[in-house]
Amino acid sequence: MNELADLYRETILQHAADPVGFGQKIEDTHRNELYNPLCGDRIEVQLRIVNNQVESAAFTGEACTICMASASLLCATTPGKPAAWLEELHTRLHAALEGGQDLDGAEVLKPLLGVRLYPSRIRCATLPWSAALGAL
């Protein structure tokens, strides 16, 4: 558990300090904004989808460190993947954070598992993925 906590802390801080895709201008084909009234996170995810592939991803908004880092992970990992992969990752992340299941092929999201220790912050970690799914 200590190794996961270290990975969580390091990755969250790294992505929050220099978030991939934050404020980047892309010619989006899909976009969606979500707001979490419980903590004030507001994230808008923009996607450029070409032939059912994510060509690029970006986001804007004001959010906590966990939400910003999660959005950064989304932007760093989804380009070049099928659009359906976003739905798959969203489903696996929810199952892993809320139900304790394994990520099963979505290990790129492993740093977010540290949120399990803070159930009130799960929505912070999943908000960008829910926004991306809504954009589709």
Domains of the chain, CATH where assigned:
2-135 (3.90.1010.10)
In whole angstroms, how far apart are CA 43 and each of 3, 4, 117, 132?
29, 26, 23, 10
Percent of the chain surpassing pLDDT 90: 60
| pLDDT digits 0-9 by tens, 33-88 | 999 998 899 999 999 999 999 999 999 999 999 999 999 999 999 999 999 999 98
Q: Which amino acid is at 128?
A: P
Q: What is the per-residue pLDDT for 80?
A: 96
Contacts of 78 (CB under 8 A, 6+ apart): 47, 54, 57, 85, 86, 89, 132
Where do we find the tokens 């929810």?
Answer: 94
Q: What is the per-residue pLDDT for 106?
A: 74
Percent of the chain surpassing pLDDT 70: 94
- pTM value is 0.90
